[in-house]
Amino acid sequence: MRTPIIAGNWKMNKTIEEGLDLVEAIKGHTLNEKVEVVLCVPFTDIKPIKESIEGTAIKLGAQNMHWEDAGAYTGEISPPMLKELGVDYVILGHSERRQYFNESDEDVNKKMKSAINHGIRPIICVGESLEEREGQREKEVVKAQIIKGFEGIDSKDIEKTVIAYEPIWAIGTGKTASAEDANDMIAFIRDTIGELYGDLKDKIRIQYGGSVKPNNISELMNQSDIDGALVGGASLNADDFVKLINY
């Protein structure tokens, strides 16, 4: 059985004070113990949020990192810096980073290897654009992202990684992939992992992301291959996020 994982990606939202208020509000609710809950917060929020989730089952994630341990990379954050703050997860290759900051599959692959080497669990994001879906190339595109992203990743590390399938056209648009379409792609991603790692395909957790809301979460989570959600907008509101965790 794969443990469901629901992660909030706050993106570039929430000052420390706002973030602490949100976490306090989330902590005020009883949370589904069967679900692993992760908050992926801006770098500046990591330390205070870590302190505020102390003693709870909530895990902490970052939204990006460099692959090098240190060096002349102005503005970047390294894996040891995140590790020192007690980060459990890091989102890698989010479509916004691929789109606005030109991150390539090669970058994502280097970051994955580095995260694993430092004991930080990667949440690797893949997904097609609207144009690619309309051209019926979505599977080809996502398969290539998976193959390049996982190049050189050892099978012993597969269980530690999480994949998030986020179709770009569904992010922040209010358009969700239908639960069946999302499941179909996620099953395809699982088969691709099977081609690379055999039976480990049944161990790796694969989330759906893109306009996940309280009104569509249960249908998504009821699908055979969807193991959780990576949530943007609805993770910024405590009531909504708690509804997702308690789907």
Residue numbers annotated as active site? 94, 166
- Report the residue number, 46 or 91, with the smaller CB distance to ligand 13P: 91
Binders of ligand 13P among residues 87 to 116 (CB under 6 A) are 94
Residue 69 CB, nearest approach to ligand 13P (Å): 26
- Report the residue number, 166 or 197, with the smaller CB distance to ligand 13P: 166
User: Interface with ligand 13P includes 175 (CB under 6 A)?
Assistant: no
Per residue, the 3-state secondary structure of the chain, as one string, reads CCCCEEEEECCCCCCHHHHHHHHHHHHCCCCCCCCEEEEECCHHHHHHHHHHHCCCCCEEEECCCCCCCCCCCCCCCCHHHHHHCCCCEEEECCHHHHHHCCCCHHHHHHHHHHHHHCCCEEEEEECCCHHHHHCCCHHHHHHHHHHHHCCCCCHHHHHHCEEEECCHHHCCCCCCCCHHHHHHHHHHHHHHHHHHHHHHHHCCEEEEECCCCCCCHHHHHCCCCCCEEEECHHHHCHHHHHHHHCC
What residue is closest to ligand 13P based on CB?
232
- Report the residue number, 19 or 209, with the smaller CB distance to ligand 13P: 209
Instruction: Determine the Cα–Cα distance for residues 58 and 158; give it in Å rounded to an integer.
Output: 22
Binders of ligand 13P among residues 2 to 41 (CB under 6 A) are 9
Binding region for ligand 13P (CB under 6 A) out of 18-26, 71-79, 190-198, 226-234: 226-234
Binders of ligand 13P among residues 196 to 215 (CB under 6 A) are 209-212
Residue 127 CB, nearest approach to ligand 13P (Å): 9
- Report the residue number, 42 or 232, with the smaller CB distance to ligand 13P: 232
Tell me the site size for ligand 13P, rule CB under 6 A.
14
Crossing angle of the two packed helices 238-245 and 16-27, in degrees rounded to 10: 50
Residue 9 CB, nearest approach to ligand 13P (Å): 4
Binder to ligand 13P among 45, 88, 105, 166 (CB under 6 A)?
166
Helix (H, G, I), strand (E, B) or coil at 21: helix
Contact between residue 7 and residue 38 where contact means Cβ atoms under 8 Å apart: yes
Binder to ligand 13P among 92, 163, 206, 230 (CB under 6 A)?
230
Binders of ligand 13P among residues 124 to 163 (CB under 6 A) are none
- Report the residue number, 122 or 232, with the smaller CB distance to ligand 13P: 232
**Which residues here bind ligand 13P, judged by CB under 6 A?**
9, 94, 166, 171-172, 209-212, 230-234
